[in-house]
Chain A
Amino acid sequence: MLSIKNLHANIDGKEILKGINLEVKEGEVHAIMGPNGSGKSTLASVLAGRDLFTVTEGKVTYLGHDLLELSPEERASEGIFLGFQYPIEIPGVSMVNFMKTALNEQRKHKGLEPLSSSDFLKHMREKKELVELDTNLTNRSVNEGFSGGEKKKNEIFQMAMLEPKLAILDETDSGLDIDALRIVANGVNKLKTPKNASIVITHYQRLLDYIIPDYVHVLYDGKIIKSGGKELAFELEEKGYDWLKKGVAV
C-alpha cells in the first residue's frame, strides 16, 4: 500500500529526515516510536503533503501513485488521513460545514454525488456515537475552545467521517486520560478493516495495549534505527532509547 524508499527531507536547509525506509501493507498496524525531535511529526507531515518541508531524495509510492506528486487534498481524497499532533483551531468555520465540505469534496474527487443533508447528518450522528463525541462540539467552530482531549477525539471523529485507507495518527494518545485513551483506541479498532492500514505514532507503550501493532519502529535522528514486533514496545518502555542510540553514530 505504502512504500517509502530512502526518504530525505529538510526545512530551511536543515535535514530532518535522513533516509527513511518503510513498507506498509493492507490490514497492517505500524507503530512508530522515538524520542522528541527525532522527526516523527515531520515524516507524518511529509506524507500528508505539507510544503513546509522539502523532499530532497527518495521515493514514496502509495497505491501505485507517486505520492509526492499529489497535492494534500488529492492525497486526502485518495484515502490518506493525518491525525494532527496539534490540531488547528479555525474560528468562524463550523465543524459541520468543515466536515460537509471535506466529505463532499472527497466524493466529488471519486465522481460521486454530494451527500444529501439528511444523509450527511445521519452519517455524522453515527460517527459521533462511535467516538463518544459531545454533541455540542460539532456545533462549534473547528477545534475552537476544545480541550486537549476533545481536540484529539475530534481527530478520530474526522477520521471516522472520512473513512481513510491509510490513517497516520500523530501522538493522538498524548494528553489523554485513560478513559479518553480507551475511547480513541476503540474508535481506531472499530474502523479497522482488512483493506486499510494505520501508522500510529506514539511515545507511550500504553496505547499499544489497546491498539495492537504488527510492527514497531524506532525513529531516531531522521532514520529508522530498529524495527520489530510488538514486544519491541515493551523493551523500549523498560529500557528507554539509550541502548539503541549507542549503536548510532550521530
Chain B
Amino acid sequence: MSSEIINIENKTKFLDLYKENINLIRNGSPDYINKIREKAILVFEKLGIPDKKNENYKYTDLKKEFENGFKTYLSPKNIKFDIKDIFSCDVPDLNTKVILLLNGWYYDRENPLQELPGGVIIGSFQKAMEIYPELVKKHFAKYADIEKDGLVALNTAFVKDGIFLYVPKGVVVEKPIQIINVLMDEEEGFTSHRNLYILEENSQASVVVCDHTLSATNFLTNSVAEFYIGPNAQFDYSRIQNEHNGSKQVSHLFFHQERDSRVTDSTISLHGGLIRNNVSAHLNGEGCENNTYGLYLTDKGQHIDNFVFIDHAKPNCVSSQLFKGVLDDFATGAFNGRILVRKDAQKTQAYQANNNILLTDDVDIKTRPQLEIYADDVKCSHGATVGQLDENALFYLRARGIPKKEAKLLLMYAFAFEVIQKIKVPALKERITDLVEKRLRGELSRCNSCQMHCCNP
C-alpha cells in the first residue's frame, strides 16, 4: 500500500490537490463515480468551504479549521495495530465482528466485504462501488445534495472509501452492527469517509458507530453518510462521539425515508474539540416516523453545533427532535432545528425540543428553531430552554444529606437521561449510561478500557 501525504490548507489547496492527483483519485473508481466526482469538484469550486457568513454555518467557524494545514492521503496508509491491544470499545452482545474504519479507510483490506445471513452485505464502500455497481449507482449522491453545501461537494469529489451496508428486502438483522471510526497517525490528518446504507423494503437493522481518536495528533474529518430506508423498513442509528480536543469533525447524515419507514438517529457527543453534526431527513412517503436525538456534554473550550433539517414532503408523517446539552467551562454551542412542512404534507406532526444547562457563565449556546409550514392541517411544536440546574431540586437533594457535588451530578444525569432512555439497544443503553456518568464525573478519558489518555493533556 502506498501512502501519499499532501499538505492542504484552503479551497485552492483542495482544488490543486484534486488536479495534481487526478489519476490517483480516479484510480479504482468506476466511471459512473468519476463522472459525479467531476461535477462535484466544480460545485466545490463555486461554493468553497462555508464560512460564518453562510447562514447555516454562522455559529461555527470552519474556515479557521480548514486553513490549519492538515495532511491527507489519497490511498490507505499502512498503520499496523492490534485492535485488542490498545482498545476495546466493543459493547458486549453486539454483532460478532467489529467493523473498523481507520482514518476513513476500511481497515480489513484482505476481506473488504462480508456477507451476513440473509444476503446482508457489509464492508468497504470502495469495494462495493466495484462489486455492486447497480446498487451503488441507484443511491450514491442521490440524497446528499452537493449543490447545498460545499463540504458535501468536497467529500463527493474526493470519494474513496467508507462503510457500505446493504440489507435486502424483508431481512431483519437482529444484532446491532458496530462500526468504529478510528483516527490514528503521527501526523495531523484530514479524513473524509463516505458511507452508504441501503435498507430495502420491510428490512430492519441497527447500527452503532463510535468515533475515536487514538493518537494525540490533530485531526479534521469531513464525512458524509447516505441512508436509503425503503418502504416499511426500520433503522436505528446510534453514534457515540468521543474524540480529543485536537480533533475537529463535520459530519453530514442524509436519511431518505420511503412510506411507513421508521428511523431513530441518536448522537451522543461526549468529547471533541469541534463537532458539527448535520442531520437531514427527507420523508418521501406517507406514514414515516423520524426521531432525531442528541445529547452533548461539552466543556473546556469545546464547540458543539447540531444542525437538523426535517423535510416533510408527504402527508401523515411524524418527526420528533430532542436535543439536550450540558455546557461547562468556556464551552460554546449551537442548535438549529429546521422543519419544513411542504404543501401536500397534511396531517404532519413535527416536534422539536432543545434544552440546555449552563454550568458556568462563561459558556454560550445559540438555539434556533426554524419552522416553515406550507400545509394547513399540521401539529407542530418547538421549545428551547437555556438554564441552570434547578436550585430547588438541588436544595431538596442536599437537605437529605447528599453533598452538593453529588447532587449536581444526579441532576445532570437526570437531565441527560431523557435522551439516553430513547436508545433502544439495551446493551448500548447501559454502556452509554456508564459513559455519560463517567463523563459527568470527569473520569472519562476516551473509551473506558482504552489505554491511551490522549484527551487528558
Contacts and interface: CB of A to CB of B under 8 A. Distances in A.
A95 B437 CA distance: 18
A33 B145 CA distance: 71
Given A90-B411, A92-B414, A92-B417, A73 B401 contact: yes
A98 interface: yes
B401 A106 contact: yes
Interface residues of B, number: 24
A52 B396 CA distance: 13
Contacts of A90: 390, 393, 396-397, 411, 414
Given A90-B411, A93-B411, A105-B406, A72 B418 contact: no
Interface string B391-431: 11101111111111011001101111110000000000000
Interface stretch (A17-25, A76-84, A195-203): A76-84
Nearest to A107: B401
Contacts of A109: 401
B393 A77 contact: no
Interface string A120-149: 000000000000000000000110000000
B403 A93 contact: no
Interface in A197-236: none
A76 B396 contact: no
B406 to A, nearest CB: 7
A78 B103 CA distance: 56
Nearest to B410: A93
Contacts of A56: none
Interface residues of A, number: 31
A65 to B, nearest CB: 15
A48 B403 contact: no
A76 B400 contact: yes
A75 B400 CA distance: 9
A98 B418 contact: no
A42 interface: no
A76 B401 CA distance: 5
Contacts of A77: 401
Contacts of A98: 397, 400, 410
Contacts of B395: 50, 72, 88
Interface string B360-402: 0000000000000000000000000000001111011111111
Contacts of B392: 88
Given A87-B396, A90-B397, A93-B411, A73 B402 contact: yes
Contacts of B413: 92-93
A102 interface: yes
Contacts of A92: 413-418
7 contacts: A49-B399, A76-B398, A84-B399, A88-B395, A90-B393, A92-B415, A103-B401
Interface of B: 390-393, 395-404, 406-407, 410-411, 413-418
Given A71-B398, A73-B407, 5 more contacts: A73-B398, A88-B392, A92-B418, A93-B413, A101-B402
